Amino acid sequence: MSRRWISLHEYQSKKILHENNLNVQRFQVVDTPEDAFKAGQELMNTIAKELVIKAQILAGGRGKGTFDSGLKGGVKLTKDPKEAQKIVKQMVKYRLVTKQTPKEGVEVQKVMVAEALDIARETYLAILLDRAYGGAVLMGSPCGGVDIEEVAEKTPDQIYTTPIDPVRGMQKEQAHDMAVKLGFKDKLANEVLINFDAKLSFDDNAKFRQQNVFDQEDTSESDQREVEATQAGLNYIGLQGNIGCLVNGAGLAMGTMDIIKLHGGQPANFLDVGGGVKEEQVLDAFKILFNDSQVKAVLVNIFGGIVNCAIIANGIVKACQKLGLKIPLVVRLQGTNMDEARKILQNSALPITAENDFEQAAIKVCSM
C-alpha cells in the first residue's frame, strides 16, 4: 500500500538463507539478559570461541550507533556469557540511534547472540532491482560489506554489476564471472564461505505467493499511521507539516501538496484514498488525520471520475460526527454526484468550509 516493500531482520534473513542450504554462523535470538546468558553459555560450550552480540533493528549502521542507555555500538564482541548478559541488558528496551534511524532512534526488541567468526576477508553480494535497467541486477564487491556505501563513494571501480535477464534468469557464466571478480578463483579447499550478514526485502506485489514471509513483518519500527492506513487499504505517507490532505489519485495528491506549499503551507501527509473508496475507508482516513497531533487543518480534494463524491461526503459527515470536528476542514468536491455531495455537507450543519476552486481551497486551508 503506502510502503512498496517489507524488510526482514537479520536473524529472519539468515534463517531463510539457512533453509536454502546457505551457510550462516550459528546463533540464537533473545529478548532478555537472562536468555542471552543461556544462549552465550550454550554456544561457548559447543562451537563458539567468541560471541558476537547484535541488536536487531531494520536500520543499518548498528555497529557505530549509540543507545540511550549509554552503550556505544549495537554490535559487540565478548568471550564471557556473563558479559553478554550485561550487554543485552543495555540493549533490550533501549533506543538505538544510527545514521539510518530517526533522530530519536529505534527501540530494540530482540538481540542476536551468535558465534563470532575469524574472518579472513569480506565480500559483498546483492541482487537489487534497478530502475534504469528495468529488472534485477547482480551487484558485488571484493572490498567487503560492512562499509559498502563508502566503497561505492571512494572506489566505485570496485563495485561490479551484472544485469539479469528477467526471462532467462541468472546464467551460470554470469555467476562464475562475478565469483572471479570477487576473488573466488579456485575451489574453497581451505576456506569456508559464510553469509556473515544478511538483509532481505520483499516487494508488496509478492505477498500473494510469499505470505509466510510477510507474516514475519515487524511493524513496530514503522510509522504507525502508515501501518493503520495499509490495514485500511489506503495509500499514506507521513510528512512533517501541519495541513492534512485527503485526496483521490496519486497525481492529484502530489498536486495538492504542491499548491499547499505554493501558498505557504506545509502538508502533513500524502493520502490517496483511491478510486474504489468506501465510506468506512473515509472514516479510517479521518481517524489517522485527526489522531495526528501535528495536523492543525485538513484539506479534502476530490475529483470524482470513478469516485462517487456522495460517498466521500457521507464518509466525511459520519467521520466528523463520530470523531468530533475540532480543527478547520476545507472540502473541494468535483465530478460524479458533486451536487448531491454538497447538499449532504450543507445539511449536516457541520462547520465545514466548502470550496469549488482548487487554488482557493488551498489558500483557505493555508490561512486557517
Report yes or no: 238 and 226 within 8 Å, Cβ to Cβ.
Answer: yes
Question: Which class in CATH covers the domain with range 224-367?
Answer: alpha beta
- Kindly report, residue by residue over 109-142, the tens digit of the pLDDT: 999 999 999 888 899 999 999 989 999 999 999 9
| Residues 291-312: b if buried by 16+ CB within 10 A, e if exposed | ebeebbbbbbbbbbeebbbbbb
Question: Mean pLDDT for the chain?
Answer: 92
Neighbours of 362 (CB within 10 A): 27
- Kindly report, residue by residue over 334-363, the tens digit of the pLDDT: 999 999 999 999 999 999 999 999 999 999
The C-alpha atoms of residue 228 and residue 225 are separated, in whole angstroms, by 5
Q: Where are the beta strands (DSSP E) in 26-170?
A: 27-30, 51-56, 66-67, 75-78, 95-97, 106-107, 110-115, 124-130, 135-141, 160-163
Q: What is the pLDDT of residue 207?
A: 87
* Strands 243-247 and 297-304, sheet pairing: parallel
- Kindly report, residue by residue over 218-251, the tens digit of the pLDDT: 888 888 888 888 888 899 999 999 999 999 989 9
Q: Identify the CATH homologous superfamily for domain 124-193.
A: ATP-grasp fold, B domain (3.30.470.20)
Interacting residues of 349 by C-beta distance below 8 A, sequence separation 6+: none
Question: What string of DSSP letters covers 106-146?
Answer: EE--EEEEEE----S---EEEEEEETTTTEEEEEEETT-ST
Burial of 203 (0-12, 13-18, 19+ CB in 10 A): exposed
In the chain, what are the domain boundaries?
A: 21-115, 124-193, 224-367
- As a whole number, mean pLDDT of residues 176-202 equals 85
The C-alpha atoms of residue 318 and residue 337 are separated, in whole angstroms, by 18
The C-alpha atoms of residue 349 and residue 315 are separated, in whole angstroms, by 15
Q: What is the pLDDT of residue 213?
A: 92
Q: Helix, strand or coil for residue 299?
A: strand
Tell me the whole-structure pTM to 2 decimals.
0.77
DSSP conformational letter for 202? E
- Give the H or E element holding residue 322: helix 309-323
CATH 3.40.190.80 fits 21-115, yes or no: no
Q: Decide if pLDDT at 147 tops 80.
A: no
- Kindly report, residue by residue over 306-328, the tens digit of the pLDDT: 889 999 999 999 999 999 999 99
- Of residues 48, 47, 24, the one with CA closest to residue 194: 24
Report yes or no: 53 and 44 within 8 Å, Cβ to Cβ.
Answer: no
